[in-house]
A and B are shown apart, each in its own frame.
Chain A
Amino acid sequence: MAMTLNQADIDRAKRARNIIKASSSANTYDKSTVIKAIKDLLPSSKLLSQLKREFEAGEIILAENQQNHHLFIIVEGTVSQMKSGAGLNTAIDYQGAGDFIGLLSFQTGQTAFTTAKATTPVTTLAIDHKNFELFHTRYPEISKVIQGLIFSNLSDRYRRVVTLHVEVALLSKQLEQERNQLQNAIQALEKTRNALISQEKMATLGELTAGLAHEINNPASALFRSVDYLINSLPGLAERAAALPDNGLVRFFFEEGFKRRLDNSKLNREKQKKLADEYPELKRSVIRLLSEMSPAAFDKIKPFITSKHQEHFHLLLDVFQSGSFLESIKLSTARIEYLVKSLKSYSRQSGSEPEVADIRTGIKETLQILGSRLQDVQVETKLTEIPPVLCFIGELNQVWTNIIINACEAMNDKGKLFISCGKDEKNVWVRISDTGPGVPDLIKNRIFDSSFTTKTAGGDFGLGIGLAISKGVVEKHNGTVKVSDREGGGAEFLITLPAHTGKK
C-alpha cells in the first residue's frame, strides 16, 4: 500500500475517531458531523479508501429494477432519485451528503425501487455485504454510527412518507373540490352554449320575421287599402250604373280595370303629360287613371270627357278603378297565400320521427323566405334530381338558412349565390357557394366552432354560431359539412347527407 500518511492526516483521523466514538456513545447521529468525520478518516483509513467510489454528474449510480449489492453513503455531491412509471420519469427526491442510496434493496435483496443519478460529481462509500460485516467487526463504533445514520435516515423517510400521505390526502381533497368546481363550470358552459344556440336561432328567426314582415306588409297594405276603397265606392257604383244608357260599358270598364297592367312608370308619365296637355281641365288623378287605360278603353271613354257627360265619365272612371283594385286584391292575396304556404312548410316543426323528404323543396322554400334579403343577390340554382333523404326537414332548412345568410353577410348582400346538388352511390350532396371574399385557410378549421365569428360585436345580428349549429344538425343526420374555396374566389360549403335507401 504505497500510501504515506502525513502527521496532519493522522491527527485529523484521530480527532475523527474521537468524534465518532463520542457520537456513538452519546447516540447522537448528526449527519454532517459524521460525514465530516468520515471525510477526515478517508485519507488515513485503508478500508475506507477502498470503499470510496466516485461518479460523474449525470452518471447512474443505481438503476431501477436492478439487483443491488451495495449500500452507498453519499459523502459529497447530490443525487436525484427518480421513479419511472405511467410513461413518465418523475424525480421524487434529492439526496445529499450523509444520505444513503440503495438502502432498501441492499438490506432486503429486492431490486432497486428507484433510480439514483448523480446531479453533481458525487463521492460515495460503496459498502458491500462483505465489508458491511467487516465494519461491524473491525470498526464497531463506525458501524454503530452508520447504523445510527441508517436508522435516522429511515425514520426521516418514514416521517416524510407520513407527511406525504397527509399532503396527498389534502391534495386529493383539493382536487376533489376543483373537480366539483370544474363540473359546475362545465355545466354552466353547457347552459350558456345552449342559450347561445337558441339565441342564434332567435336571431335567425328575427331575420326571417323581418324579411317576412316586409314581404307580407306590402301586399297586406295594398289589400287593406283596396278593400277600403271598394267598401266605400261599390254601393254607390251600383246605383249610378243604372243611370247609364249602355250597361255593357260598366262591365267593359270593370273588366278593363281588372285586366289593367301597370306600365313602365316612365312611359306612363309621358302618357300623362300628353293627356294633361290635351285635357287641361281634368284633375291629375283623372289623368292618371286615363293613362292606365288600354287604347280600346280610352277610345270608349273619350266621348264622355266633355263636360256634358261628367256623371257618366266619373262613373266609368270609378268602375275602372274598382276593377283595378279588385285585381290588386287578387294579386296581393295570392302573394300572401304563397308566402304563408312557404313559411308553413319551411318552419315545419320536426316531429320525433324523421321523414323521407326531398331536400330540394326545403332549399327552395328557404330561398323564398329569404327573398327580401336576397334582393341584390343573384341566385343561381342547379337542383338536379336526387334521391330523398331521411331527415328532419325543418332542421335542415335551418342549415340552408344559416349558410345562405352567412354567404350574404360575407358578400354584403351583393353578389352571386350558387346552389347545386347531386348524388354519388350512397350520398346526396348540396353545394352552396358565393362570390364573397372566401374563408381564409387559417380559419377554415375554426369556422364551425361555436365561439367563432368574424362579425363585429354590436352592429351585426347573430352570434356567429350559426355554422356550428349547422354542423351539429348535419352530423345528427350522419352527414358532413365542409368549407373550401370556390374556383374564382368565394367560399364553398359542401353538405353531404346519406341518401335514403328505402328501409326505415
Chain B
Amino acid sequence: MSDIYILCVEDEPEVLDVVVRDLADLEDVFPIEMAVSAEEAREIIQEMKERGDKLGLAICDHVMPGEKGVELLIDMQNDEFTRRTRKLLLTGQAGLEDTVEALNKAKLNRYIAKPWDPAELLQIAIDELTTFVIEHEKDLLRYMGVLDIKRIQEVIREKGSFSDS
C-alpha cells in the first residue's frame, strides 16, 4: 500500500524544524519529508513518484533563494502527479501579486502567515489531508485516527464505502 506524504519546503533549517515538530501528530500516518529548497523538493517528489507513493500535502515557504515557493507550487499544479496535492503557502512575506498568482495558477488551497499558531497549522494540515483522502482514497479507516473523524464518518455513511458482511 502506498503512503501519503507531507512535504515541507523551507530554506531555514530552524523554521523547517519547528514546522515538522508542529505536524508530528500526523507523522505516523503521513510521513513527512523536508526540503530546504525548491530544487530538493523536486528531487523528493520524483523519488515519491518512483516509489509509487503519493504527495498529500505540500507546505511551502515563498521567499527562498533560487526558485520561489509560488513557482514550485505552480509547477506542481501543472504536473499530473502533484496536481491533486493540497497546497499550502507558509510565508512571512509574499506580495499580493505573488499570492494572487499562487491562487490562480497553483490552485493554492491555503495561506498561512508567519509566525503561525501551531494548533492552527496542525488543524489546517488535518483539514487539507482529510479533503485529500476523501477525494482520492478508498480505505478511509486507516486515516480516521489522525484526521477529521466527523468528515470521514460522513463520507463513509454517504458513499457506503464499505458494507456489512
Please give the residue numbers on chain A whose beta carbons come within 8 Å of chain B beta carbons, in ascending order.
Answer: 210-211, 213-214, 216-222, 224-226, 228-229, 262, 265-266, 268-269, 283-285, 288, 324, 328, 331-332, 372, 375-376, 459
Q: Are B20 and A220 in contact (CB under 8 A)?
A: no
CA distance A225 to B22 in the complex (A): 8
Q: Are A283 and B36 in contact (CB under 8 A)?
A: no
24 contacts between A and B (CB under 8 A): A214-B63, A214-B91, A214-B92, A216-B92, A217-B92, A218-B92, A218-B114, A219-B14, A220-B115, A221-B15, A221-B92, A225-B118, A228-B118, A265-B13, A265-B34, A265-B36, A266-B40, A269-B44, A283-B28, A284-B27, A285-B27, A331-B14, A372-B93, A459-B97
In the complex, B126 has a CB within 8 A of chain A: no
Chain A residue at minimal CB-CB distance from B23: A285
B residues 60-90 in Cβ contact with A at 8 Å = 63-66
Q: Would A217 and B93 be within 8 Å (CB), given that A262-B13, A265-B40 are in contact?
A: yes
In the complex, B43 has a CB within 8 A of chain A: yes
A456 to chain B, nearest CB (A): 12
CA distance A229 to B18 in the complex (A): 9
Please give the residue numbers on chain B whose beta carbons come within 8 Å of chain A beta carbons, in ascending order.
Answer: 12-15, 17-18, 20-22, 24, 27-28, 31-36, 40, 43-44, 63-66, 91-93, 95, 97, 114-116, 118
Chain B residue at minimal CB-CB distance from A376: B65
CA distance A224 to B115 in the complex (A): 8
CA distance A376 to B63 in the complex (A): 11
B17: A residues at CB distance < 8 A: 222, 262, 324, 328
CA distance A332 to B17 in the complex (A): 13
Q: Are A213 and B93 in contact (CB under 8 A)?
A: yes
Q: Are A229 and B14 in contact (CB under 8 A)?
A: no
Name A's interface SS.
Answer: helix
Chain A residue at minimal CB-CB distance from B115: A221
Q: Are A221 and B116 in contact (CB under 8 A)?
A: yes
Chain B residue at minimal CB-CB distance from A262: B13
Q: Are A217 and B35 in contact (CB under 8 A)?
A: no
Considering the complex of A and B, which 9 residue pairs feature the smallest CB-CB distances, nearest first? Answer: A217-B92, A214-B93, A225-B18, A221-B115, A222-B14, A217-B114, A262-B13, A214-B92, A328-B14
CA distance A222 to B35 in the complex (A): 17
A222: B residues at CB distance < 8 A: 12, 14-15, 17-18
B42 to chain A, nearest CB (A): 12
A454 to chain B, nearest CB (A): 18
Q: Would A283 and B115 be within 8 Å (CB), given that A218-B15, A225-B18, A372-B93 are in contact?
A: no
User: Which of A211, A221, A459 has most B Cβ within 10 Å?
Assistant: A221
A413 to chain B, nearest CB (A): 10
B154 to chain A, nearest CB (A): 29
Q: Are B21 and A225 in contact (CB under 8 A)?
A: yes
Q: Are A284 and B115 in contact (CB under 8 A)?
A: no
CB < 8 Å neighbour of A375 from B18, B22, B65: B65
Chain B residue at minimal CB-CB distance from A226: B18
